[in-house]
Amino acid sequence: MEKTLFDNIEFVERLESLMEGYESTDIEFKSAKGGFPGTLWETYSAFANTQGGVIILGVNEKNGKFHIDSLTEDQVQQYKKDLWNGLNNRSTCSANILKDSDVQEGEYNGSYVLVINVPRAPRVQIPIYIKNNPDNVFKRNHEGDYKCTPDNIRRMYADADIEHPRDGRILPGFSIEEDIDNETLQQYKRMMSIHYPSHTWLSLSDKEFLKKLGAYRTDKREKTEGLTIAGLLMFGKSDSIKDEYCCPNYFPDYREYFSNDPHARWTNRVYPDGTWEANLFQFYMRVYNKLAAALPKPFALKNGQRIDESSAHVALREAFINALVHCDYSINSNLVIEQHKDYIKFSNPGSLLIPVAQYYHGGESVCRNKYLQQIFTMMGAAERAGSGADKILQGWKEADYRSPELKERTQPDKVELTLPLVNLLSEDILNFLKQNYGEAFDDLSHDELMTLATCYSEGEVSNYRLQIIIDKHSADITKLLKKLCDNGFLISCGFGRGTKYQINKEYKHTTIDKVASKVASKVASSEVKKSTRKSLFALRHEILEACDDYMSLEDIAETVGKGIRYLKNKIIPQMVDEKLLERQYPDAPRHPYQKYRRKQ
């Protein structure tokens, strides 16, 4: 067998780690007992078009149990050859995005398996399709691979066309006089003059000014000119924006949830209600100050001038602008901003254009609506240097808030960014940790303190969550968590990739020797593992507690820490039959947006 990047011990450890995670959004096991599985190409397309994932060939998983196919070394070598032949054959798939190091074979308990790491495809290559058919496009969600609709595929091709951003499309028949709100345009100019008081654009006519911004364009090849989608979204009248030739689904929506009444829907709302021209500029101006009110105002002097903005304010503004300029306004779904007492959530239609990991690293400018980004930049409200994620993360970190969390959802495509308003190192949290751990608190390193503070604040923490918060490799975080468990600071719940860690509130300050400490740690670890095997009664009780209002299957699974397939096939239908839960769409059990709540 040819040399791989792993020796076989490392290979076995990696494989077992993946197997402990079971099938999920980013792991797929495929049996190869009867030959090279044709369904591998659907999963390849799905992973490449979403956030990437790992395919394990030669292992069959069923109901949480693994069955090794007992493949020989020769079989795996043949499958590896079949894989590369298919990757480089356009009649099999549209593009090969794998490197040699992405495909690793190894021996496991006398059998051979193939581990294939599929990254997210570069933006310009999405969608990855199969069988030489551009309609054979797949994406990934919690339930596995699903075939994309023609509308999904159309939007993916539009996102891949970097040279022709969709918000730069010229709108024939629209005019500055009839479709642009003049009051908005003049307000924008005044704001721009604050940041660039001597800018030459400010002396231009309205038409020439809009041209410089990209809000009005001339296409010399097509011999057409007119307002762009970006121009109308930013400065247009409400009715013009919602015209069927522009963005008929446009509906920006801001909601405040400040009431203690669990049945209250919202305490304040800003949306296109017909009383104002609901373009993006006016929406931004009405909503930003409401969001900023949640942050404490700093008082500092710089060169004799009072500074009223902290790095958290800059982060908040970046997050808001990101939601507006990355939104896919062609999707029949709303741009929604929610403000709660303890967090702010930005939810915008569309998929991420980069891998999640790259988003957190920041630095590369990738924008769905390039012209909108330029317009916001010229009014001093956005940065062109990167995705804005680096400023968001840094601003929240400097304010000692819990780290922002990004999620990508599908069907419909949606990106959610949550900014917690809980201070990780607040006096309350520090006081609890000091009381709980006593003198041992003083010996904690910064990373250990941040881990414990996050765990206490959020109720539990995972390896993946900590990778965002303390910026360390997964292997280093594994060692950190193990140390905290061994020393009794944390207790672990679950297995493999699904392991969560919770504060050990029974921590005892004793002067036992190291041997006794290790014994106690092993006993505690054993007890925790036993306790994680929830009884069916306890699981059903947790589901009922969580479903006070309608919840999706995905959210229920995340809340109770169980697999979505297990809940979908075994638990939820039974609870519906027993009239413990009710469906939001009772006449359509397979409705794509089905949700469940506790039977009243």
CA-to-CA distance for 412 and 336, rounded, in angstroms?
Answer: 14
Q: Are 40 and 98 in contact, with CB atoms under 8 Å apart?
A: no
Return the C-alpha torsion angle 359, 361, 367, 372, nearest 10: 110
Return the C-alpha torsion angle 79, 84, 88, 91, nearest 10: 10
Say yes or no to pLDDT of 122 above 60: yes
The predicted pLDDT at position 529 comes to 43
Give the percent of the chain with pLDDT over 70: 85
Q: What is the mean pLDDT of residues 19-33?
A: 73
Q: Is the pTM of this model over 0.75?
A: no
Q: What is the mean pLDDT of residues 105-110?
A: 81
Q: What is the mean pLDDT of residues 523-546?
A: 64
Of 27 and 317, which is predicted with more confidence? 317
Confidence band (pLDDT; 50, 70, 90) for 361?
A: low
Q: What is the mean pLDDT of residues 487-511?
A: 75
Q: Are 378 and 331 in contact, with CB atoms under 8 Å apart?
A: no
The predicted pLDDT at position 13 comes to 60
The predicted pLDDT at position 15 comes to 66
Q: What is the mean pLDDT of the chain?
A: 83
Q: What is the mean pLDDT of residues 508-521?
A: 44
User: What's the fold here for domain 8-160?
Assistant: 3.30.950
Query: Within 13 Å, how many C-alpha atoms sit on residue 446's CB side?
Result: 5
Confidence band (pLDDT; 50, 70, 90) for 305?
A: low
Say yes or no to pLDDT of 14 above 80: no
User: What's the fold here for domain 176-420?
Assistant: Heat Shock Protein 90 (3.30.565)
Confidence band (pLDDT; 50, 70, 90) for 286?
A: very high
The predicted pLDDT at position 21 comes to 52
Dump pLDDT digits (tens) for 559-597.
888 878 778 877 898 899 888 999 888 877 777 678 899
Q: Are 179 and 232 in contact, with CB atoms under 8 Å apart?
A: yes
Tell me, yes or no, if the two domains 8-160 and 427-524 fold the same way. no
The predicted pLDDT at position 417 comes to 93
Contacts for 137 with CB less than 8 Å, ≥ 6 apart: 45, 49, 127, 128, 129, 147, 148, 152, 153, 156
- DSSP E strands in 410-463: the ranges are 414-420
Query: Within 13 Å, how many C-alpha atoms sit on residue 369's CB side?
Result: 31
Confidence band (pLDDT; 50, 70, 90) for 384?
A: low
CA-to-CA distance for 562 and 552, rounded, in angstroms?
Answer: 14
Say yes or no to pLDDT of 533 above 60: no
Q: Are 102 and 118 in contact, with CB atoms under 8 Å apart?
A: yes
The segment with the largest mean pLDDT, out of 212-226, 461-475, 485-499, 581-595, is: 212-226
The predicted pLDDT at position 478 comes to 84
Residues facing residue 423 across a β-bridge: 401
Give the percent of the chain with pLDDT over 90: 39
CA-to-CA distance for 42 and 49, rounded, in angstroms?
Answer: 11
CA neighbor of 256 nearest in space, from 139, 169, 171, 337: 337
Say yes or no to pLDDT of 515 above 50: no
The predicted pLDDT at position 517 comes to 47
User: How is the chain split into domains, by residue range?
Assistant: 8-160, 176-420, 427-524, 536-598
Say yes or no to pLDDT of 532 above 70: no
The predicted pLDDT at position 509 comes to 45
Confidence band (pLDDT; 50, 70, 90) for 364?
A: low
Q: Are 444 and 369 in contact, with CB atoms under 8 Å apart?
A: no
CA dist 278 to 4, 233, 283, 308, 534, Å?
58, 9, 6, 28, 50
Question: Residue 408 has which token pair?
Answer: 């990508």
The predicted pLDDT at position 167 comes to 93
**Does CATH number 1.20.120 belong to domain 536-598?**
no
CA-to-CA distance for 35 and 559, rounded, in angstroms?
Answer: 39
Dump pLDDT digits (tens) for 199-251.
999 999 999 999 999 999 999 888 899 999 999 999 999 999 999 999 999 99
Say yes or no to pLDDT of 396 above 60: yes
State residue 452 phi and psi, 5-degree precision. -65, -40
- Amino acid identity of residue 461, one-letter, is V
Radius of gyration, alpha carbons of the chain: 27
The predicted pLDDT at position 45 comes to 96
Query: Within 13 Å, how many C-alpha atoms sit on residue 33's CB side?
Result: 8
CA neighbor of 24 nearest in space, from 415, 554, 598, 453: 554
Give the Cα-Cα-Cα angle 140, 143, 149 (nearest 5 degrees): 50
What architecture is the 427-524 domain classified under in CATH? Orthogonal Bundle (1.10)
The predicted pLDDT at position 108 comes to 75
The segment with the largest mean pLDDT, out of 18-22, 28-32, 76-80, 592-596, is: 76-80
Confidence band (pLDDT; 50, 70, 90) for 385?
A: very low
Say yes or no to pLDDT of 524 above 50: no
Give the Cα-Cα-Cα angle 51, 153, 159 (nearest 5 degrees): 65
Confidence band (pLDDT; 50, 70, 90) for 454?
A: confident
Say yes or no to pLDDT of 527 above 80: no
Of 463 and 282, which is predicted with more confidence? 282
Contacts for 559 with CB less than 8 Å, ≥ 6 apart: 542, 546, 551
CA-to-CA distance for 407 and 331, rounded, in angstroms?
Answer: 18
Write b or e for each residue in 412-433: b if 16 or more Cβ atoms lie within 10 A of its Cβ, otherwise e: bbbbbbbbbbbbbeeeebbebb
3-state secondary structure of 413: coil
